[in-house]
Amino acid sequence: MLEIIWSLGAFIVTLGVLVTFHEFGHFWVARKCGVKVLTFSVGFGKAIWQRRGKDGTCYQVSRIPLGGYVRMLDERVDDVPENQRHLSFNSKSVKQRAAIVAAGPVANFLLAVVVLWGMFLLGVPSVKPVVGEVTPNSVAAQVELPTPAEIVSVNGRLTEDWQQVNLAFAAALGDERATLTVLDPQQRQRTYTLDISDWRLGNEQVPTFTALGFEPYQPAIYTELAYVQEGSPAAAAGLQVGDKILGLDGTLLAEWSQIRDAIMAAPGQRVDVEILRQGNEITVPVTMGERVVEGERYGYLGVEPRREAYPEAYRFVQQYGIVDGLVKGAERTWNLMVLSVQMIGKLITGTVSVTNLSGPVAIAEGAGVSASYGLVYFLGFLALISVNLGIINLLPLPMLDGGHLLFLGIEGVRKKAVSERVQEISYRIGGALIFALMAIAISNDVLRLLQ
C-alpha cells in the first residue's frame, strides 16, 4: 500500500510539474503577443483552488490531475466587446498564433534541459557499461565478444553508461547492422558489426541490450552465507553466517542462482538444506517461509550470499560544472528528442510493437521507482517524460498542438483559414485516434500488472 501511495504521489508531482511548464509556455507567449488569458488551469474538471490575478486571469488547480489548459479570449467561442477584439487569439497573425501554440512543447524541451543541467550539477552515480556475459544463441553471441568488455560506442554514439547503451540500441531498431566498439580485457579497442536485421522488440519489458544478449557485469556471488535475517526461517533452523550451501533435498547446487530458484519454488515446504560448516557436511531441515508477489506465492529463506565487491574502476560519477553541465543537458535533451521521433516512426512501421506503449500506470511506477532511488534519478525520469510529452504534442493530430500548427501552416500557405467544418471533422478523427492509443497504453499497463 505504501508503495502505491508513493508511486501515486510521485506521479502527481511529475505530471503537475510537466503540465504547469507546458501550459506556462502557452500562457507566457500569449501574453507577450497581446492575447488576453482568461484561465490558467492545472488539471481538468471542477476547481479545488482558484485565485484571480491583477491581470484578470483566473489561476486554478482542478480535480483531475491528468493535464491542464490555458483559455484565451477568442471571438470564435466568446462574445468579445469591440474594444477587446485586439486582445483575442484569433485576431493575431498566423506567426503569432503558431508561436503561442508551439510554446507549450518548447517549454517542455527547455524544462528537460534545465532539469538535466541540475542533474549533472548534482552528479549522477553511474557504472561503466561492461559486458559480463553474452547469452548463447543471441544476436550478440554471433560476434564472439570477449568478456569482460567495456562498450565504448554504438553506431558512433559514445556510451558512458548502460542507459546510453540502451538508448543507442533503441535508435538502431530496424537497421540492418549495428556497429559496436568495445575495450577488450587487454584494454584494446575493437569494433564488431552485429546483424540486427531480424531483431525486433516484442512485448518484453527488458532493456534493448538484454534483448540483444548482453548481460552487464556482476560481481561473483558465492554460495556462502554472508547474512542471516533475524526471525527468518533460516535463523529458526539454525543456519549461520559462514555456512556454505551445497544443495537442497539431495540435489547438489553449485550456483547461487540455482539455490535462489529452488528456494523460491518451495513456499511453505519443509526442505533439507545440505551445508558445509567448518569443514563438516551437515543437513539442516528448514521450513521455508512464503511471500505473495503479484498474486504468486514464492518461498523465502531470509539469507544473503557473500558477494565480491563491485570494482571501483567500473564506478564513476557523471558530474559537470555550470557551463559544461548546461551543454551536456542540452545535448542529452536533443538526443532524447531524436530518439522519441525515431521510436514513433518505428511504432508506425511495426518495428516496435504497440505492446511497448505505456500509460499512466507505468508512468506512475516509473516515477515512484526513480524517486525512491534519489533526486538525481527522479530528475532524469522527469526530463525523459517532459521530452516525450513535448514530442507527442507536436504530432500533426487535431486536438494536439501539432494539429493546430498544421492548420495554421495550411492557413499561412492558402492565406485563408481552414473551414470550421473541416476542423470539426478532423478533431473527431484525431480524438478517436488519441483515445485509441490511450486505450492501448492503459490495456498494456493492466496486462503488465496481471502478469
Three-state SS at 134: strand
Residue 12 has pLDDT above 60, yes or no: yes
Residue of 23, 150, 274, 365 marked active site = 23
Query: pLDDT digit string (tens) for 234-269?
Result: 899 898 999 999 988 888 888 898 989 889 988 889
Residue 451 has pLDDT above 60, yes or no: no
Model pLDDT, residue 372: 58
**Nearest residue to 24 via CA among 411, 395, 386:** 386
Q: Sorting pLDDT into bands at 50, 70 and 90, what band is 104?
A: very high
Distance CA 41, CA 59 (A): 6
Model pLDDT, residue 330: 95
Length of the chain: 451
Element (H, E) at 135: none
Contact between residue 28 and residue 103 where contact means Cβ atoms under 8 Å apart? yes
- Show contacts of 254-259: CB within 8 Å, 24+ apart: 254/223, 255/223, 256/221, 256/222, 256/223, 256/305, 257/221, 259/223, 259/305
Q: Sorting pLDDT into bands at 50, 70 and 90, what band is 354?
A: low
Q: Sorting pLDDT into bands at 50, 70 and 90, what band is 356?
A: low
Beta bridge partners of 70: 40
Q: Return mean pLDDT, the chain.
A: 84
CA 366 to centroid of chain Cα atoms: 6
Handedness of CA 425, 96, 77, 105 (dihedral sign): positive
Contact between residue 393 and residue 22 where contact means Cβ atoms under 8 Å apart? yes
Distance CA 177, CA 180 (A): 10
The residue with greater pLDDT, 65 or 394, is 394
Residue 204 has pLDDT above 70, yes or no: no
- Show contacts of 375-378: CB within 8 Å, 24+ apart: 375/122, 376/119, 376/122, 376/123, 376/124, 376/125, 377/124, 378/10
Distances (CA, A) of 133 to 94, 140, 307: 57, 10, 17
Model pLDDT, residue 95: 92
Burial of 358 (0-12, 13-18, 19+ CB in 10 A): middle
Query: pLDDT digit string (tens) for 389-421?
Result: 899 889 888 878 888 898 888 888 888 887 778
Distance CA 451, CA 82 (A): 61
CA 47 to centroid of chain Cα atoms: 30
Percentage of residues in the chain having pLDDT higher than 90: 23
The full set of domains in the chain, from first to last, is: 98-123+321-451 (no CATH), 124-212+309-318 (2.30.42.10), 221-307 (2.30.42.10)
Q: Sorting pLDDT into bands at 50, 70 and 90, what band is 380?
A: confident
Q: Sorting pLDDT into bands at 50, 70 and 90, what band is 7?
A: low
Listed in order, strand segments (DSSP E) in 26-82 are 37-52, 58-72
Query: pLDDT digit string (tens) for 296-312?
Result: 788 889 899 998 888 88
Query: pLDDT digit string (tens) for 126-179?
Result: 888 998 888 888 888 888 888 888 999 999 888 888 888 888 888 887 788 889
Q: Is the peptide bond before 216 cis (omega within 30 degrees of 0)?
A: no
CA atoms lying within 13 Å on the CB side of residue 250: 0
CA 82 to centroid of chain Cα atoms: 49
Judge whether 224 counts as a catalytic residue. no
Three-class HEC string of 319-366: CCCHHHHHHHHHHHHHHHHHHHHHHHHHHHHCCECHHHCCCHHHHHHH
Model pLDDT, residue 362: 54
Among 62-71, 313-322, 414-423, name the most confident range. Answer: 313-322
Q: Which amino acid is at 234?
A: A
Model pLDDT, residue 205: 60
Q: Sorting pLDDT into bands at 50, 70 and 90, what band is 329?
A: very high
Among 181-190, 257-266, 318-327, name the most confident range. Answer: 318-327
